[in-house]
Amino acid sequence: MAIEKQAEGELSGVAELRAILRIRPFRRLWLVLGAASLGDWLGLLATATFAAAQVSGGAAKGFAFGGVIAIRLLPALLLGPLAGVMADRWDRRLTMVVCDLLRFVLFASIPTVVLFSNDAAITVGWAAIATFLIESITLIWLPAKEAAVPNLIPKARLEASNQLTLVTTYGITPVLAAAVLAGLNQLYQSLTNAHIEIAVWAEPSSLALYFNALSRLATALVVFFGIREISGRNGKNHHSESMARQFVDGWKFVGRTHMVRGLVFGILGAFAAGGVVIGTAQFFSTELNGGDSTFAILFAVIFIGLGLGIALGPRLIGALSRRRWFGLSIILASGSVALLSLATHLSIAVAFTLLVGAGAGMAFLSGITLLGGEVDDEMRGRVFAVVQTGTRVILMLAISLSGVMVGLGGSRAIAGTDFSVSSTRILLGVAGFLGVGAGFWALRQMDDKPGVPILADLFSSMRGRPLGIPEPSSGGVFVVFEGGEGAGKSTQIAHLATLLQSGGRDVVVTREPGATEVGARIRRMVLDSHATPTGPTVLAPRAEALLYAADRAHHVSTVVRPALARGAVVVSDRYVDSSLAYQGAGRSLAVDEISWLSAWATGGLKPNLVVLLDIDPTIGLERAGRRGAPDRLEQESLDFHERVRMGFLDLAAADPNRYLVLDATRDEKELAEEIAARVGKLLPPLVRTDGPPPQELAAQHAERVRISALS
Nearest by Cα to 359 from 382, 380, 331: 331
In angstroms and rounded to an integer, the radius of gyration of the C-alpha atoms of the chain is 34
355: pLDDT strictly greater than 60 = yes
Lowest mean per-residue pLDDT among 255-269, 478-492, 643-657: 255-269
Which of the listed residues 430, 452, 469 is the one where a domain comes to its end? 469
* Domain containing residue 457: CATH number: 1.20.1250.20
Specify whether the CB–CB gap between 174 and 41 falls below 8 A: yes
Alpha carbon 647 to chain centroid, angstroms: 34
pLDDT of residue 9: 46
Specify whether the CB–CB gap between 462 and 314 falls below 8 A: no
Residues 272-289 pLDDT 10s: 777 777 777 767 777 777
Q: Which residue has better confidence, 360 or 241? A: 360
244: pLDDT strictly greater than 70 = no
Lowest mean per-residue pLDDT among 399-413, 432-446, 642-656, 695-709: 695-709
Confidence tier at 250 by pLDDT (50, 70, 90): low
290: pLDDT strictly greater than 80 = no
Q: What is the mean pLDDT of residues 443-448?
A: 83
Measured at the CA of 528, the angle between CA 525 and CA 534, to 5 degrees, comes to 95
Q: What is the mean pLDDT of residues 139-161?
A: 77
In angstroms, rounded to a whole number, what is the distance separating the alpha carbons of residues 49 and 61? 9
User: Is 3 a domain residue?
Assistant: no
User: What DSSP character marks residue 170?
Assistant: I
pLDDT of residue 575: 92
Lowest mean per-residue pLDDT among 171-180, 229-238, 358-367, 511-520: 229-238
Which of the listed residues 442, 469, 496 is the one where a domain comes to its end? 469
Which of the listed residues 449, 469, 489 is the one where a domain comes to its end? 469
Residues 56-83 pLDDT 10s: 554 454 444 445 555 665 666 566 556 6
Residues 677-696 pLDDT 10s: 999 888 887 765 455 544 45
User: Is 245 a domain residue?
Assistant: no
pLDDT of residue 612: 92
Nearest by Cα to 76 from 144, 134, 147: 134
Confidence tier at 102 by pLDDT (50, 70, 90): very high
Q: What is the mean pLDDT of residues 520-549?
A: 74
| 662 and 557 within one domain | yes
Q: How many domains does the chain have?
A: 3
- Contacts for 552 with CB less than 8 Å, ≥ 6 apart: 512, 513, 575, 576, 579, 598, 601, 602
| 226 and 301 within one domain | no
* Domain containing residue 596: CATH number: 3.40.50.300
User: Is 248 a domain residue?
Assistant: no
658: pLDDT strictly greater than 60 = yes
User: Is 239 a domain residue?
Assistant: no
| 215 and 158 within one domain | yes
Confidence tier at 237 by pLDDT (50, 70, 90): very low
| 482 and 431 within one domain | no
In angstroms, rounded to a whole number, what is the distance separating the alpha carbons of residues 550 and 269? 45
444: pLDDT strictly greater than 70 = yes
Bridge partner list, 612: 482, 661
| 263 and 214 within one domain | no
Numbered residues of the known binding site: 483-490
The continuous run of DSSP H or E covering 443 comes out as helix 423-446
Specify whether the CB–CB gap between 270 and 328 falls below 8 A: no
User: Is 11 a domain residue?
Assistant: no
8: pLDDT strictly greater than 50 = no
698: pLDDT strictly greater than 50 = no
User: Is 242 a domain residue?
Assistant: no
Q: What is the mean pLDDT of residues 418-426?
A: 70
101: pLDDT strictly greater than 90 = yes
| 548 and 463 within one domain | no
> Positive or negative CA dihedral for 73, 79, 80, 81?
positive
Q: Between the CA of residue 591 and those of 274, 290, 443, 549, 672, what are the distances in Å?
A: 42, 52, 30, 14, 31
> What percent of the chain has a predicted confidence (pLDDT) above 90?
7
| 440 and 299 within one domain | yes
Q: Is the pTM of this model over 0.95?
A: no
pLDDT of residue 157: 76
Confidence tier at 245 by pLDDT (50, 70, 90): low
Q: What is the mean pLDDT of residues 394-398?
A: 72
Q: What is the mean pLDDT of residues 353-361?
A: 87
Q: 662 φ, ψ to 5°? A: -130, 150
169: pLDDT strictly greater than 70 = yes
| 181 and 37 within one domain | yes
Cis peptide before 693 (omega within 30 of 0): no
Q: Which residue has better confidence, 297 or 537? A: 297
Q: What is the mean pLDDT of residues 347-359?
A: 88
pLDDT of residue 361: 85
> What percent of the chain has a predicted confidence (pLDDT) above 70?
73
Specify whether the CB–CB gap between 146 and 379 falls below 8 A: no
User: Is 246 a domain residue?
Assistant: no
In angstroms, rounded to a whole number, what is the distance separating the alpha carbons of residues 645 and 652? 11
Nearest by Cα to 93 from 139, 138, 137, 147: 147
Q: What is the mean pLDDT of residues 382-397?
A: 70
Contacts 24+ apart (CB under 8 A), 520-525: 522/547, 522/548, 522/550, 522/551, 523/551
| 481 and 463 within one domain | no
pLDDT of residue 628: 66
The continuous run of DSSP H or E covering 82 comes out as helix 74-89
- Give the max Cα distance, the chain: 115
Q: Which residue has better confidence, 15 or 64? A: 15
| 324 and 225 within one domain | no
In angstroms, rounded to a whole number, what is the distance separating the alpha carbons of residues 336 and 356? 5
318: pLDDT strictly greater than 70 = yes
412: pLDDT strictly greater than 60 = no
Bridge partner list, 325: none
pLDDT of residue 104: 92
| 302 and 205 within one domain | no
Range of the domain at 109: 16-230
User: Is 515 a domain residue?
Assistant: yes
Specify whether the CB–CB gap between 311 and 163 falls below 8 A: yes
Nearest by Cα to 358 from 391, 402, 317: 317
pLDDT of residue 71: 61
pLDDT of residue 151: 75
Average pLDDT of the chain to the nearest whole number: 76
Confidence tier at 148 by pLDDT (50, 70, 90): confident
Numbered residues of the known binding site for ATP: 483-490
Nearest by Cα to 545 from 514, 590, 583, 575: 583
Which three-class secondary structure string do you get for 346-409? Answer: HHHHHHHHHHHHHHHHHHHHHHHHHHHHHCCHHHHHHHHHHHHHHHHHHHHHHHHHHHHHHHHC
DSSP string over 285-320:
HHHTT--HHHHHHHHHHHHHHHHHHHHHHHHHHTT-
| 289 and 399 within one domain | yes
Nearest by Cα to 481 from 341, 641, 671: 671
